[in-house]
Amino acid sequence: MPNEQLLEQVDLLRERFIRQQKTASNSQTPLKTMNDTQNRVQKTLSDYSDQNADADVNNSQAALANARLKEDVVDPLLPGLRRELKSLALISAVSILC
């Protein structure tokens, strides 16, 4: 295989890994902030309920409390995303050196 074809394939792989790295990074950011967002929504519902006696937010608060987003979604996904990001960063760094 001529060198030009090999270099072209390396460039295509590098671009693919960079896209994967961006996707993983873009997925990690909202997952990290999900717990804070859930807590802010709980606080907002509580404040709204305190200000508006007629407002019944109990079902909404219960649904958020039972969602267990951190335990069921964030905690299982983040370690894998972190490992993937480290691997992709290493691959990208090595491919740049080639």
Cα 26 from Cα 81, distance rounded (Å): 10
Cα 11 from Cα 57, distance rounded (Å): 54
* Global pTM value: 0.66
pLDDT tens column, 30-85: 988 988 899 899 999 999 988 988 888 889 888 888 888 888 889 999 999 999 99
Per-residue H/E/C for 31-84 = HHHHHHHHHHHHHHHHHHHHHCCCCCCHHHHHHHHHHCHHHHHHHHHHHHHHHH
| Distance, first Cα to last Cα, the chain | 17
96: pLDDT strictly greater than 80: no
